[in-house]
Amino acid sequence: MLNYRHLHYFWVVTKEGGFARAAERLDMAVQTISAQVRELEKSLGHQLLKPSGRGVALTEAGQAAFVRAEEIFHLGQGIADEVREAASGKVARLTVGLSDGISKLAAHALLQPVLATPQLRLMCHEGEFEQLLAELALHHLDVVLAGQAAPRNPNLRLTSERLIQSSVDWYGPAALATKAARDSFPRSLGSLPVLLPTGHSALRSTLDHWFVMQGVRPRIVGEFEDSALLAVFAARGLGVFPVSQLGAGDVGLMRGLRLLGRCEDVKEEIHAICSRRGQHHPLVQQVIASAH
């Protein structure tokens, strides 16, 4: 077992730049702290600190240990506040995983019904699909919003529910929208700079197939994992882009973007994936009910 008290002394010594300043901060004897850090080095099997002038510096092994120590004690500093909030019963926590590739604008629209919840503490984590499912199975997340259902795996004990299946609209800055008006949609996309989601998105493969079926060869000038970032670059004139109708409400908040046309044959899906515990979370239930 790692001795976290020893790790804390090492962390403070590193933060303060030396044993003397660490001893002053901790109100302890220098010899005591030095001995504890040596015990940590012995247990890990590597030297973590080396002399540097009047202080100390990290070795390569020490740098790796310090990065993790920073994460550990940064999280630890928030425990008191979180315990106090939980004991008061006033904080409504919702931890959501957002899979790479789904429209963040659509995800915002789906979460909109719970955003006015009193004392809401919303935590959103973005990541790869498989990684988020693992976090969900460990109960680190309450729900995952993804462009696909959870795979059949009895060991994970996850359930999926499709929240939306939305047609896709195309938007662009006013100057490009005016140019697009000269040609009929979607043929106009062949003469415009196009911004697309990356291959992480389930929507991307659908769009690629749709381009082939329409006989359109798009001039792709940018690919983005984050749909909100994609919309920002489009609003600054980089190109035209697709977004689900559900997310188009947020696009309207960006000045200068205009509707070019609609792909009725292209749909974006978003699924809510929950563990058994997450199914009973009142805010998760509210998100699912509002989507329906």
- Kindly write down the DSSP assignment for every residue of 67-115, as one continuous string: HHHHHHHHHHHTHHHHHHHHHHT--EEEEEEEETTS-HHHHHHHHGGGT
**Residue 55, amino acid:** G
* Residue-averaged pLDDT of the chain: 87
What integer pLDDT is reported at residue 89 of this predicted model? Answer: 65
What integer pLDDT is reported at residue 251 of this predicted model? Answer: 66
- The answer to the question of residue 48 being in a domain is yes
Residues 70 and 136 in one domain: no
Residue 241, pLDDT > 80, answer yes
What integer pLDDT is reported at residue 75 of this predicted model? Answer: 79
Residues 154 and 279 in one domain: yes
Residue 253 confidence class, pLDDT cut points 50, 70, 90: low
List Cβ neighbours of 35 (8 Å cut-off, separation of 6 or more): none
- The answer to the question of residue 110 being in a domain is yes
Residues 109 and 184 in one domain: yes
Residues 73 and 201 in one domain: no
Residue 231 confidence class, pLDDT cut points 50, 70, 90: confident
What are the DSSP E strand ranges found in 141-283?
A: 143-146, 158-173, 193-197, 219-224, 241-244, 257-275
Domain boundary among 14, 45, 77: 77
- The answer to the question of residue 83 being in a domain is no
The mean pLDDT value for 180-208 works out to 86
Residues 37 and 99 in one domain: no
Residues 19 and 151 in one domain: no
- The answer to the question of residue 84 being in a domain is no
Residue 212, pLDDT > 90, answer yes
Residue 284 confidence class, pLDDT cut points 50, 70, 90: very high
- Residue 269 has phi, psi (to 5 degrees) of -110, 145
Residue 264 backbone zone (phi > 0: left; psi -120 to 50: alpha; other: beta): alpha
- The answer to the question of residue 12 being in a domain is yes
What are the DSSP E strand ranges found in 128-213?
A: 143-146, 158-173, 193-197
Query: pLDDT tens digit string along 40-80?
Result: 999 999 999 998 888 899 999 999 999 999 888 887 877 77
Task: With residue 56 as reference, give the H or E element that holds it.
Answer: strand 55-58
Domain boundary among 77, 107, 129: 77
Question: Which residues span the domain enclosing 269?
Answer: 90-292
Distance CA 55, CA 47 (A): 15
What integer pLDDT is reported at residue 21 of this predicted model? Answer: 92
Q: Which of 185, 171, 174 is nearest to 259 (CA)?
A: 171
What is the CATH number for 140?
3.40.190.290
What integer pLDDT is reported at residue 85 of this predicted model? Answer: 66
Of 113-117, 133-137, 226-230, least confident by mean pLDDT is: 226-230
Q: Which of 190, 172, 192, 186 is nearest to 263 (CA)?
A: 186
Domain boundary among 53, 77, 101: 77
